[in-house]
Structures are given as structure tokens and as C-alpha cells.
Amino acid sequence: MALRSLSAVTPALRVCNSRAFSSIPRGAQQAARRTTTLTAKPFARSSARFYATEPGTGKSGSGGATWLLLGVAVAAIGGGYYVYSSPQDAETLAKSGKQAAKAAVGKTPKLEDYQQVYNKVAQLLDEAGDYDDGSYGPVLVRLAWHASGTYDKETNTGGSNYATMRFNPEALHGANNGLAIARGVLEPLKKEFSWISYGDLWTLAGVAAIQEAGGPKVPWRAGRIDGFEKDVTPDGRLPDAAQGGDHLRNIFYRMGFNDQEIVALAGAHALGRCHVDRSGFEGPWTFSPTSFTNEFYNLLLNEKWQWRKWNGPKQLEDKKTKSLMMLPTDYALIQDKSFKKTVQAYAADESLFFKDFSAAFARLLELGVPTSQWVTSTPWELKTLSEQTEKK
């Protein structure tokens, strides 16, 4: 994948370069992982580079592969599109994830096979070099969430089942800007483990990213199948960060979540950052954007937040260091009484947050997948890399 210098792109992008961040080795960041004090912890930052394979360039990150779905649907990748010779219902082609995998490689993959994929994802997280804060983890979590968060419980459409973000109509939805990077990072794994569906690969990568960042175990199981362009859902199903609490409720109630689950899921913003060239917003939520902690809630509650004066969308900055940000939707979580109660609970008790996040994220990743497709009735627990080395 080609890299190009950010500074050469637009004046708007240079704005984000002008904000000074101190730089420390990533190992030191990791050491600071579990710290919950509000002392400003410096973190490495290099947003001076990004991938040129954005959806809008006509190249999604999924170029080159051809694969077979039950010998009927041939998917040719080119310009981000898959062209099928016979665009039938994915469900009529493959009744289950097990059947699809068996047709692809003549075997039924087991937990050990998925653990191998997990391990490969875990290894590549840190191969990010100077991409963002040195990890692909956050953008992989965002991919897993956006692939699943299109679900509508009324019409039972959307969700992680058909991995429809491979298709340009969905890849080009504004909310998905930048996710070509995450899809591109995972594409070599799809080639190596051709039996895994894209939906399984993307969601499993999200689980690996959470667990490897020090987050909770997220129960996960296989069974998603690859669908067609016609399964793409309309634009506008993912949340708009410029809005408030009512909007959050509309979006997440539509997926079947309640207020407590909305707050738990939003805690994923402990990870990663906003990018001017993707969402228009800029900056990280926490001082340790590659570690999964309850810091998002602590900072939201305890820092003084003010509207940032800048030539960009309305966002908040912390008064003290001006290096952290909150989106209007994040801020809505402390403006609403019901949400705020849960924010306080998670700020006070990280293990409660971990438990609730794990349950809500696991459910999010399963949205839209018919029960009959799962390869196992009880979800699995994938082992972290360090758990596996400890055992040796």
C-alpha cells in the first residue's frame, strides 16, 4: 500500500499537523497502559502519514483476490467492487458459515483455525510503524463496529453478516471514510485463510484489537457469510457525531441497544483518534489511545471541556492541555441524566465497564446473523498472544 505525505494534501490537513504533541517510545506508552490518573501522559503521535487507498480514490483496500462462493458466485475484485456472475441471495447459496467454509476449502474450520487467524491479526497490530499511534488496533475496532452497526431490528437488515462494506456504495458512505485502511490491512489474511468470510475476519479482528489492547475478553463465534452488493443498507444508519443524545438513542435503539449499552459501547473511544481527512474531527480522546481502559469516562467527567475554536466541525477540547477531544455525541453522555449515571459507574469501576462492554460489543458483532448460521451454539473465547506464550 502506498503511503504519502499528509502535509502535501490540503491546508485543512496542515491544521492538524500544527498542534504539537510530544513523542515518546511506544514501549513507554504501553507501560503507562493501566494508569488511571488524570495527569497528562504524553503519547507518540504521527499522523503525518496515511494510506492513499481511500474509497474515493477508486481503490478500496481489497484489491486483487478472486474467490469462490459455493461454485456459483465469482467475486472479482476491482475498483472496490465485486462482480457476481449470478447475484442471488447469499443465503440461498450458503445456508451457514460452516457450509461456506467447507465449500471453499473442503473442511470445517475449528476454534484452533480461528485462533490462528486471531494470532495473525494480533501480530500485525504492532506492524503499523509510524501509522497514527503505532497500532492498527483502533481502526480495526472501528471497522468491526461499522460493519455491524448498520443493523435495523425492524427490517432485520444490515449487520455484520454480509460484509457489505466491501462494495462501493457502502465503502463510500461518509461514516466509513478511512476504513479502506482497515480492510486493506486484513486483506492479506483473507488470502492466507481463504476459508474465512469477510464478516468473520473483520469482527474477529475487532475482538483481537480489543483484547490485545488490554481490554476484556469478547466472546466471539464464526458463521457470517459473504453477501452481495444488493445487501448494502442505505446511508445514514451509523451515528452522526455532530448530534446529541436523542440521535444516539434513535440510532442505537434501532439496533436493539438500551441506554446503558450505548454508554458502554461509547467507551471504545478510549482507543484511537479522529482524523481531519476522514471525519473532519481531530485528535484523540485519551492520553493512551492504544490501550483499552475506562479513561474515556474519567476524562469526560473530570476534565473541563470547552468548545474548540478552529476552522473545523464543532468539537470539544480539554481546557488544561488542549490536546484531547470529545465529540458532541460523547459530551451528550454527561448532559443526559440517564447516560451520566452510567458514565459515573464506569469511571468508578473499570471491571464493571469491561464486563458490560464485552457483553454489548459481542452482541453488536452478532447483529444480523441468523442463529442457524453459527458454527457453535456457545461463543468462543480466543486467547491473547501473551496467554499463549505464558503457557509455553
Residue from 265, 300, 324, 343 touching ligand HEM (CB under 6 A): that is: 265
User: Which one of 215-223, 270-278, 317-325, 377-385 is the stretch in contact with ligand HEM (CB under 6 A)?
Assistant: 270-278
Q: Is 275 in the site for ligand HEM (CB under 6 A)?
A: yes
Q: Is 245 in the site for ligand HEM (CB under 6 A)?
A: no
User: Which one of 43-51, 109-117, 161-169, 269-277 is the stretch in contact with ligand HEM (CB under 6 A)?
Assistant: 269-277
d(CA 157, CA 96): 17
List the 316-318 sheet strands across, edge first: 305-307, 316-318, 325-326
Residue from 196, 268, 299, 325 touching ligand HEM (CB under 6 A): that is: 268
Which is closer to ligand HEM, CB of 80 or CB of 283?
A: 283
d(CA 252, CA 229): 24
d(CA 230, CA 101): 22
Q: Is 166 in the site for ligand HEM (CB under 6 A)?
A: no
Q: Is 272 in the site for ligand HEM (CB under 6 A)?
A: yes
Q: Is 278 in the site for ligand HEM (CB under 6 A)?
A: yes
Give me Rg for the CA atoms of the chain: 20
Q: Is 329 in the site for ligand HEM (CB under 6 A)?
A: yes
User: Which one of 13-21, 188-196, 271-279, 315-323 is the stretch in contact with ligand HEM (CB under 6 A)?
Assistant: 271-279
Q: Is 271 in the site for ligand HEM (CB under 6 A)?
A: yes
d(CA 36, CA 204): 28
Q: Is 325 in the site for ligand HEM (CB under 6 A)?
A: no
Q: Catalytic: 285? A: yes
Residue from 178, 216, 219, 283 touching ligand HEM (CB under 6 A): that is: 178
Total binding residues toward ligand HEM, as defined by CB under 6 A:
24
Q: Is 279 in the site for ligand HEM (CB under 6 A)?
A: yes
Q: Is 361 in the site for ligand HEM (CB under 6 A)?
A: yes
Q: Which residue is nearest to ligand HEM (CB)?
A: 272
Q: What angle do CA 384, 189, 181 make, to 5 degrees?
A: 95
Q: Is 138 in the site for ligand HEM (CB under 6 A)?
A: yes
User: Which one of 15-23, 160-168, 266-274, 316-324 is the stretch in contact with ligand HEM (CB under 6 A)?
Assistant: 266-274
**Which amino acid is present at 165?**
M
| Active-site residue, selected from the candidate residues 67, 145, 146, 275 | 146
- Taking the complex as a whole, the smallest distance from the CB of residue 91 to ligand HEM amounts, in Å, to 27
- Taking the complex as a whole, the smallest distance from the CB of residue 85 to ligand HEM amounts, in Å, to 35
Q: Is 139 in the site for ligand HEM (CB under 6 A)?
A: yes
Residue from 274, 316, 326, 375 touching ligand HEM (CB under 6 A): that is: 274
* Site residues (vs ligand HEM, CB under 6 A): 138-139, 141-142, 145, 178, 239, 241, 248, 265-266, 268-269, 271-275, 278-279, 281, 327, 329, 361
Catalytic residues: 146, 285
